[in-house]
Amino acid sequence: MKIGPKFKIAKRLGAPIFEKTQSQKFELSLARGGRRGNRRPGQMSDYKRQLIEKQKMRFTYGITEKQLRRYVDEAVAKEGHQPVTILMDRLERRLDNVIYRMGLAKTRRLARQIVSHGHIIVNGKRLNVPSHKVRTGDVITVREGSRQSALFVNLADTHEAAGVPAWVSFDAKKLEGTVKGAPVYNPAETLFDPEQVMEFYSR
């Protein structure tokens, strides 16, 4: 998915949704914008607020409008469950996101490239589809022929185990991870409001 100038997009959406905008420089830029008289959030229309939250979600996970619409439709169609929980579960279970969560890649964009280039094996099968839905119990490894790549050769020394969520595990020396359970949605950890996203698509 082609993305425009990340700094401008993040500033327009008011959130550091890209790695390059997760900096003090960006925070200061947002603060200066607010002092110049930007409209307060309370003055924003419901539609615009929902649109912004939808865009934040899209850019956070690096997905297309068509993909997000499909995920939302699937979440709404599943009876007996909270749509927001189902939507977040589907986003988190994308193979590229799981690679990112395991710490195999510093960004979801890099994780998507790693999968697309065929570096990843899931349950013994080579996969190159970033949107592949992983399931509990899936074993994810780096392909034998890719282990000497600059992407992985020093991973055991640089891997940050503390950042790996409890629902996945990863052994940086073996370059192998497991999906241990269902993703846990924590509103405090997201830069967007999925409730607003659901409202956007319910119009």
What residue ranges do the domains of the chain occupy? 6-90, 94-179
Q: What is the pTM of this model?
A: 0.82
Q: Residue 56 is encoded by which pair of tokens?
A: 């934040």
The confidence score (pLDDT) of residue 115 equals 98
Q: Residue 43 is encoded by which pair of tokens?
A: 């003055």
Residue 92 to residues 34, 99, 195, Cα–Cα distance (Å): 32, 10, 16
Report which of residues 139 and 186 the model is more confident about: 139
Instruction: For the chain, report the end-to-end CA distance as a whole number of angstroms.
Output: 26
Would the pLDDT of 135 be above 80? Answer: yes
Q: Which CATH number fits domain 94-179: 3.40.50.2300, 3.10.290.10, 3.40.640.10, 3.40.1190.10?
A: 3.10.290.10
In the numeric block, the tokens 């690679």 are attached to 99
Where residue 37 falls among pLDDT bands split at 50, 70, 90? very low
Percentage of the chain lying above the pLDDT 70 cut = 81
Q: Which fold, 6-90? A: Ribosomal Protein S4 Delta 41; Chain A, domain 1 (1.10.1050)
Report which of residues 3 and 155 the model is more confident about: 155
Q: How many residues does the chain have?
A: 203
Residues 164/158, Cβ–Cβ less than 8 Å? no
- Give the C-alpha separation, 69 to 48, whole Å: 17
> Could you give the angle at the alpha carbon of 62 between the alpha carbons of 56 and 64, nearest 5°?
90
pLDDT digit string (tens) for 167-180?
999 999 999 999 99
Percentage of the chain lying above the pLDDT 90 cut = 70
